[in-house]
Amino acid sequence: NAGVTQTPKFQVLKTGQSMTLQCAQDMNHEYMSWYRQDPGMGLRLIHYSVGAGITDQGEVPNGYNVSRSTTEDFPLRLLSAAPSQTSVYFCASSPSAGGELGYTFGSGTRLTVV
């Protein structure tokens, strides 16, 4: 039981490049979400999904796309990377949207945009 797996762990992009951050969970959780964490600003919700085929925007969705074709996977796409997207990105999952059993987080992807 691997939990939530994020790849890559580190990435450097040039401004304007695109890339996909991968997130996979093996706990059959319905709810998955993406956060970014910046110093002094805590975790901010980018996008979330309450089940396969259903996604919605969080607090800071601009510049990011998501899709949820399977229960297990929830990739985050950066369309045209900007220095402001330099951050640590966390994927989290939970059995339900309410999160009464807590969220399980991945170990994060540290992204630098130059």
Residues that bind other proteins (CB under 8 A): 4, 33, 35, 40-43, 45, 48, 50, 56, 58-59, 90, 92, 97-108
Q: Show the CA angle centred on residue 110, arms to residues 105 and 111, nearest 5°.
A: 130
Nearer to other proteins, 18 or 59 (CB): 59
Using the minimum distance from each CB to other proteins, give the nearer residue, 17 or 104: 104
Minimum distance, C-beta of residue 15 to other proteins, in the bound complex (Å): 26
- Cα 79 to the chain's mean position, in Å? 14
First to last CA, the chain: 36
Q: How far is the CB of 8 from other proteins (least distance, A)?
A: 14
Q: How far is the CB of 93 from other proteins (least distance, A)?
A: 11
Q: How far apart, in Å, are the Cα atoms of 15 and each of 19, 49, 68, 92?
A: 11, 28, 26, 27
Q: What does the block give as tokens for 24?
A: 């996979």
Q: Which is nearer to other proteins, 1 or 40 (CB)?
A: 40
